[in-house]
A and B are shown apart, each in its own frame.
Chain A
């Protein structure tokens, strides 16, 4: 009997010990759940006066923490120990249709238990116009017979994101190079920087498209759909496609320069010729169509430099920059000053792990991922606060595609 009691006591002791040890293990195994430390983010650069800037910290588990900066430009977090990506994307209050956008990011900031972490984040500034790219649809859709995908139904929607009338001295569409985000980008230097990053321009590859009007006027909140290949009703053949035969739509159509009628079928009779955008070609002369990527373009819109028409800008042989340092006419680009760029969107392909940016931080600090071939598009998010304030949908414009854009599973014109 004593022996049996001894065994029961021993069993109880062992049970208590094992429970206790297990509890300790739990605590040691996930210290971040309980152990915290201060993280100080000091913003530097040309900061806006009298404005709180929201700093965003995201840990490696995806937890998001936000803190406003104080008067010294410091955001103080109290976060679990771990590794954080810090980003800032701040837009100033509009001033005559233009806004200043502050962007900055840094990765792999380690917060340890033993001491507070301090990180300095330098912000880049860029001016942002009210004219924005609202949606870009380039990925095409599946054909009805299962033979593959159709991609001649691309379009872009350009919008006036303000209640003000905006008058532009010309408006041009352009793409940066390389045409796709994946593959080897030979325009990076050994330090991992784009070799034109500090040159104040973005190369416009191949050719540019421009509105025929000397002045391009956007009424408040006006949106323009521009068909980028065929301004016809594609749904008659491809049920997953879009109908771009609409009298209000515009289209890139200059059949004497891009003479491929399969890439550029004659636009619908509903669309007036005044809605045709013209092309000026200077590179990639053998292409039958504007080489806008079907998967991952770096697309931007700009106004020509002061005193120049789009045609003069495109023809200017002295303003040449060669993609990959290759001096063949095929690789000739025009240097578009960053200050003339109204908006840009960097699209990465979900089909590739590797991607490299082509737009510099002053145009677009981030990128949006897109899946091609299934009718997806990339579209700008709605800025809820501004929309509420102005009583009209306002699109988010922080010069950061990662934040501003999202991937639509069905482009907005589908079914219209």
Chain B
């Protein structure tokens, strides 16, 4: 009956040639049973006209295209089909057969595949690869990229994605890596307390159809990034019931999904429960993901053109919880919600009129609830000051029962519980519209895209608070929901030009675009700012499908782009910090109460009017060759991060008054029990009144302390460069063995040296030689090696690294028994790193010491080995004269010979290397590990995968050239610990 309907539909089809338009009609059926494939997407390339198949598998595509084009049919659960069509096909009925995705296919891919149609480096990871690898968290997909390293998948660690970067480097590459799910950006700008890429733990991994990773230069459609983008696509289309079960020592997972045919459209529903725990012996402390995803897709025809409307809603409840853990002390717990709700409406109208090919509209909203509730137990034999003051001044501790809202509450003694809540609810929304125009002549296709985008991010959370102020420790309320939202308007335009120059598929693709972001930041000193991001990609295909040649196809590509990462709330609205200095310390009373008083100084990060937005420039080159024995792709990139944000300290002279218990001694006339302390909020002078009224108020003697207030400000640091090579050699399958080999790898080079002048005082409570004056000097040093946080000077002011990873994957695929066995040997062949101490413009920086106890030595040139190196500040300033720069070297040298007290004081500013080998170049000898993955299909309904990571449980040792020591790689962070897992998928 179905077939009859299909034939009837075909009979009813007609070919229309109107105003130069051509209609292509076809029917898509499933191989084997000949059933129609409904809701398959049919796309004509170039031009990107598209339509959907109906219930009979029939499609009609109208296009103004001339010449030949590629018709691509995709549908979830089937292998894509591509055919070349020309004008001659007009009037014909194309009959396309799709093969269900299963292990009976002749070719099965279990690794990331290079997307050759793009003019930039991008990789596609499909469902089979995800199943084979048993990915639990989307962030684990980096494993599958060229040179990727296996991680043991778990949700306990909230691993974030950072493309083409290493965690310990400057420039915060993780924050610059964007993540999208079905076009909806996972925003992390409104997170307070972290500056990194978005968490991927709330994405249901069983519902992922494929993941595209673009570490290269993306289209200008994608902004607010600097280190590439990861695009997650979930399952869509009419699919059977799928039940997924997975277990490994640390995680259990169950998922159900189904694509329902609702006649008017397709509803895809997915439900997943995943639970991970960190301790095998105590599975009570766990992270849970409970993800529900609903996706409704309809394709009505509007003005005789298909309009695809997609409505998606996805929710997640779960998070971390240790409440039931018997190892916790009575009643204590920590619960961290990880709730998310994401919804999007996408409309895509294939207009194809007067050159206007397509109109798209998208509206997204994303809500998250990351509330953390903790109940902890506390105890103390002495009362502690619980400071809640937010304004500058002197405050005295007060009993809670006397004034519950006092700026300083005198804490309890004994035993009690503290309940803290951190209410953190980031919100983001986005509306964007874009249009595409196509122009096509005989051999030139010109596709122009223009779009506009508005996005807003904010946080509806209350921030950290306590349920009972009586027990709230020192803390200040900082409401996230009172922070203004950040609004961004982006405009972009891009032209994709395709020039076909010969019959062997010679082709030139040029993609050039420009994006501007206008960011409005209310109530921020940075106001409204704008930035430009031009990007150009070029791909030249010399030939393709020249089967008579050894190199059957060859193409090369290159690109240059600039991308701007918007700052996070952490940068825009840094939480005020407070300096709380003890101003009055009376003795403990008989019941261990102490009426402490504090000088409170609030700080807010100082706005830097000359701060520029951080941006990255990328340049990449690549070659793709298809030969008779293998497909080879080689890509090279150079990425330079300019003006990275660097948080630095600013010191301001400050004086406060301190009154000690000594002022209350020597027969003080008011008995301890009768004293009523008061402190002047402005001056800090303490007075004591007599509760009995017999003794007049006494003012206590105090000491003035000259010290510094420490604030911070963001400046633009020195540029950072990253470069590297990625290669993939996919050898053709040896058919007799049903085995194929893949050799992939990467070379990564990083170089970052900081020259920005950084102000610093010796850490801790340093004092002058007299023992009563706080430290009076501030040193100004050149550079730091630290990549995050407030910069503090270090002997090395940068580092360089070179790493070569190479993986060999052997895949044996036997379609007859539906079995895939893959063995992957991972190696790090070269791992060299060195901390650097380099002055500006080739100058030396630091001094080589003969003995670690020394302070003087010869200038460090970078060639010395096994030596301690000392760093001096360039100059220093004093409390009295903060604007006078005193050359440190000159003064320190003089003090050494003439003024021991000054020498001791200045020596505190000298910073030394920890060990004598810290600046030695380090190289770790090569190390290896191996994984085995087996996937077996049992009939058409059951699919089972097994994996064992580091399956020989390697105990090998590596040698460090820096220290000369050999250490085991077992549990050393080099390779994953031995790990195994099994998963099963049922299709009903």
Contact = CB atoms under 8 A, between A and B. Distances in A.
Interface of A: 143-148, 150, 152-153, 230, 232-234, 236-238, 241, 245, 255-259, 261-262, 265-269, 271-273, 278, 280-281, 284-287, 311, 315-318, 320-322, 325-329
A145 B377 contact: yes
B588 A269 contact: yes
5 contacts: A147-B377, A233-B592, A234-B381, A257-B767, A266-B382
Contacts of A316: 904
B901 to A, nearest CB: 8
Interface string B752-789: 00000000001111110101000000000000000000
A257 B765 contact: yes
Given A255-B582, A329-B763, A236 B916 contact: no
Interface residues of B, number: 54
B660 A269 contact: no
Interface stretch (B451-459, B485-493, B907-915): B907-915
A204 to B, nearest CB: 15
B853 interface: yes
A230 B594 CA distance: 13
Contacts of A150: 379, 381
Contacts of A259: 582, 765
B594 A265 contact: yes
Contacts of A152: 381
B852 A237 contact: no
A322 B853 contact: yes
A255 B585 contact: yes
Contact of A317 (B384, B771, B903): B903
Contact of B765 (A234, A256, A268): A256
Interface string B724-736: 0000000000000
A387 to B, nearest CB: 36
Contacts of B329: 147-148
B381 A265 contact: yes
A317 B904 contact: yes
A256 B413 CA distance: 23
Nearest to A315: B904
A285 B382 contact: no
Nearest to B918: A327
Given A256-B658, A256-B765, A326-B915, 14 more contacts: A230-B381, A237-B592, A261-B582, A261-B594, A269-B589, A273-B660, A281-B765, A284-B764, A315-B769, A317-B907, A317-B908, A318-B853, A327-B915, A329-B911
A285 B764 contact: yes
A318 B906 CA distance: 12
Interface of B: 329-330, 377, 379-382, 384-385, 413-415, 582, 585-592, 594, 596, 658, 660-662, 665, 672, 705, 762-767, 769, 771, 849, 852-853, 855, 868, 901, 903-904, 907-908, 911-916
The 5 closest A-B pairs by CB, nearest first: A285-B764, A265-B382, A269-B587, A317-B907, A327-B912
A329 B762 contact: yes
Nearest to A230: B382
Contacts of B916: 325
B914 A232 contact: no
A321 B853 contact: yes
B749 to A, nearest CB: 29
A94 to B, nearest CB: 36
Contact of B764 (A234, A286, A322): A286
Nearest to B794: A328
A373 B661 CA distance: 32
A162 B495 CA distance: 97
Contacts of A257: 765, 767
Nearest to B855: A317
A340 B908 CA distance: 26
Contact of B852 (A148, A153, A265, A327): A327
A272 B665 contact: yes
Nearest to B909: A329
Contacts of B665: 272-273
A330 B55 CA distance: 74
A327 B919 CA distance: 13
B588 A232 contact: yes
Contact of A266 (B330, B585, B901): B585
A299 to B, nearest CB: 22
A237 B415 CA distance: 8
B807 to A, nearest CB: 36
B660 A261 contact: no
B899 to A, nearest CB: 12
A144 B658 CA distance: 36
B904 A145 contact: no
A322 to B, nearest CB: 5
A238 B381 CA distance: 7
B594 A237 contact: no
Given A150-B379, A266-B596, A281-B764, A144 B587 contact: no
Given A266-B661, A329-B763, A261 B904 contact: no
A262 B762 CA distance: 24
A236 B913 CA distance: 47
A328 B914 contact: yes
Contact of A326 (B414, B766, B914): B914
Contacts of B853: 318, 320-322
Of B377, B415, B764, chain A has the most CB atoms within 10 Å of the CB of B764
Given A143-B379, A269-B587, A317-B903, A232 B592 contact: yes
Contacts of A273: 660-662, 665
A317 B582 CA distance: 28
